Amino acid sequence: MAFIKAVKGVLPKFGKGCFFADNATITGDVVMGDNCSVWFSAVVRGDVHYIRIGNNVNIQDNATVHCTYQKAPVEIGNNVSIAHNAVVHGCTIRDNVLIGMGAIIMDGVVIESNSIVAAGAVVSKGTVIESGSVYAGIPAKKIKSVDVELVEGEINRIANSYNMYASWYDG
């Protein structure tokens, strides 16, 4: 069973149809929508500020979602995939976004809808990623626009696949 713990009397809240891997950690002021998943060794730590997560969000193995004390909460929209080993810290991620493996998203970043942050990218503090963009590199810069093929073939495919993967696990 996942490690779910109250912090200062506040227990995480979840919608319907969520899957949490046995060693996922979710603590404190976290509110998560329906059909979300938090995978093996992932951490969603709402101890120093709040974390709000929409529907159909997957937080994959070893990813970390955290905030900055009294300064930077995390807000994640709907249909978002946060890939393996990513760090999402004190930022806002809108709907239909893919955060690639090992990407780092810093405080004050806003990632608008229908965007992709490539694997290994570092999105510097305060960056605004405009809707429909692919950002890559260190520091992350726009490398191209998202087309219909990327939305369907990557953003939606991955988000929907994680609901299927979660259904394979018992209990």
- Asked, for residue 72, whether it belongs to a domain, the answer is yes
- pTM score above 0.85: yes
| Number of domains forming the structure of the chain | 1
Closest CA to 44 of 78, 71, 13, 16: 13
- Residue 38, in any domain of the structure: no
Greatest alpha-carbon pair distance for the chain in Å reads 45
160-169: pLDDT as tens digits: 999 999 999 9
Pairing of strands 97-99, 43-53: unpaired
Give how far the C-alpha of residue 68 lies from the chain's centroid of Cα atoms, to the nearest Å: 16
For residue 167, report the phi and psi dihedrals to the nearest 5 degrees. -65, -15
pLDDT digits (tens, 9 = 90+) for 108-161: 999 999 999 999 999 999 999 999 999 999 999 999 999 988 899 999 999 999
| Residue 89 forms part of a structural domain | yes
Q: Is the pLDDT of residue 170 over 80?
A: no
- Return the closest-CA partner of residue 24 out of 5, 7, 10, 49: 5
Domain assignment present for residue 54? The answer is: yes
Asked if residue 84 lies in contact with residue 60, where contact means CB atoms within 8 angstroms, the answer is: yes
Residue 85 lies in a domain: yes
Q: What is the rounded distance in angstroms from the CA atom of residue 92 to the CA atom of residue 59?
A: 15
pLDDT at 108: 98
Which CATH number is 126's domain given?
Answer: 2.160.10.10
C-alpha–C-alpha distance, residues 143 and 100, integer Å = 14
Range of the domain at 156: 50-167
